[in-house]
Amino acid sequence: MKILVANLGSTSFKYRLYDLSGDSERMLARGGFERVADHAAAIESCLAELQTGGSIASERDLAAIGLKPIIARGITGCVRMDEPVLQAMEAYNGLAPAHNPPYVNGARLFARRLPSIPVIGLFETAFYQWAPEAAMRYAVPESWHRQGVRRWGFHGASHKYIAERSAQLLGRPDVADRVRRLYVDGPATPVQAPELRVVSCHLGGSSSVTGIRDGLAIGNSLGMSPQSGLPHNNRVGDLDSFALPFLMRTTGMSLDEAERQMCKEGGLKGLSGGMNDLRDILAGIARGEAGPRLAFDVLVHQTRHWIGAYAFELDGLDALVFTAGIAENNPEIREAICARLDRMGIRIDPAANRQAARGREAVLSAPDSPVRILVVPTNEELVIAREVKRFLER
């Protein structure tokens, strides 16, 4: 079954083609385009590349298009991206202004271009459907809650991948099986004792931490919008809600300008004085600059804050997992996050941490560390392809 997974940014288009049948999972092709002005043209180029490369003979070989949409009013999980779903996404465009519109547009373009091929989306909020209500509520009036003012959690495809893969690596096929079947069977699949307690740290262009008990998310540091939680590359992360009216009243800043700065001038960029990529921040630290040092330290502090919160909720940890562009690639930040946690049972092996090769799974914990520390490269596209296949088989 050939499934084309498309990753749509406001000016980018990346794709991977998977062939999934039985237990076999093969990636047949991957590619992408930057500085895309017209997603329709990018779709044409993608289809042409797949045919020229021989991974499909014709468009009819595609069983489905898989997407990773962010958020929609009243809808989550793995669903067909029909008009009511797209309209429910548009209702929440304001929550994900950089992310929702390209997906709505892209889904419509795919439907128009390939009308007989289903377009299926796995919402980034899907993994948190079973998180405890107390973890997902804001203390707002009930009428606000009914408007959707609550924590949703994002990065669901990535954290679900980590939940399944870490269970396999920790010798818990029962938990991995539950995670695999989650969006089809719900959390009903029984698992054995003892509980498996994992914290997953996805640190990349956007970052979040998730606590996972027996394969189920107990919450996520991202709240109502993908602008919350940890500081992101340009996006602000958690901010006291009274900061915004205070700033606007005091400086006369407009709402649109405040929103723009929270999305484009905040996060690591705001803290460091203009750098939004950890590689530039590390270079700034090496030059002895204060802003980059602060950005690094705030990201470490916030990550530890959330790890601590979930480790407490989970009554301890079996594994701490690092994933995504920053956490997979940078040993310094992993070491800083794990520093001075000996009495929590978190003991990193500095040599193993430094030797961990990019793009590879690795164990970073010292042999005597009660908590296993792992690097697991995430694979969101594969999660989407798998869920699309299950959706079509249902």
At closest approach, how far in Å is the CB of 22 from ligand ADP? Answer: 30
Selected range binding ligand ADP among 60-68, 103-111, 136-144, 324-332, rule: CB under 6 A: 324-332
Out of 69, 156, 204, 237, the residue judged to bind ligand ADP by CB under 6 A? 204
Query: In angstroms, what is the minimal distance from the CB of 202 to ligand ADP?
Result: 7
- Residues listed for the chain: 394
* Pairwise CA distance, residues 326 & 24, whole Å: 30
Biggest distance spanned by C-alpha atoms of the chain: 62
How buried is 104 (Cβ within 10 angstroms: 0-12 exposed, 13-18 middle, 19+ buried)?
A: buried
Q: Which amino acid is located at 67 in the chain?
A: L
Query: Which range touches ligand ADP (CB under 6 A), out of 51-59, 112-120, 198-206, 369-377?
Result: 198-206
User: Applying CB under 6 A, which part among 68-76, 128-136, 305-313, 322-330 lies near ligand ADP?
Assistant: 322-330
Q: Which of 61, 277, 289, 349 binds ligand ADP (CB under 6 A)?
A: 277
Give the whole-angstrom CA distance, residue 129 versus residue 383: 17
Contact segment (CB under 6 A) with ligand ADP among 135-143, 200-208, 211-219, 291-299 equals 200-208
Q: Min. distance of Cβ 233 from ligand ADP in angstroms?
A: 5
Q: Is 205 in the site for ligand ADP (CB under 6 A)?
A: yes
Note whether 275 binds ligand ADP by CB under 6 A: no
Q: How far is the CB of 342 from ligand ADP (least distance, A)?
A: 26
Among 55, 125, 233, 379, which residue sits at the site for ligand ADP (rule: CB under 6 A)? Answer: 233
Q: What are the C-alpha distances in Å from 84 to residues 62, 79, 146, 213?
A: 24, 11, 19, 33
Spell out the long-range contacts of 297-300 with Cβ–Cβ below 8 A and sequence spacing 24 or more: 298/231, 298/271, 299/203, 299/207, 299/230, 299/231, 299/268, 299/326, 299/333, 300/333, 300/336, 300/337
Q: How many residues bind ligand ADP (CB under 6 A)?
A: 12
90 binds ligand ADP (CB under 6 A): no
Q: Which of 120, 176, 278, 338 binds ligand ADP (CB under 6 A)?
A: 278
Report which DSSP code applies to 373. E
Residue number, 310 or 322, with CB nearest to ligand ADP: 322
In whole angstroms, give the CA distance from residue 241 to residue 227. 13
Residue 335 parent element (H or E): helix 331-337
Q: Which of 266, 270, 325, 331 binds ligand ADP (CB under 6 A)?
A: 325
Contacts of 337 (CB under 8 A, 6+ apart): 201, 300, 303, 304, 307, 322
Contact between 100 and ligand ADP per CB under 6 A: no
Residues that bind ligand ADP (CB under 6 A): 204-206, 233, 277-279, 324-326, 329-330
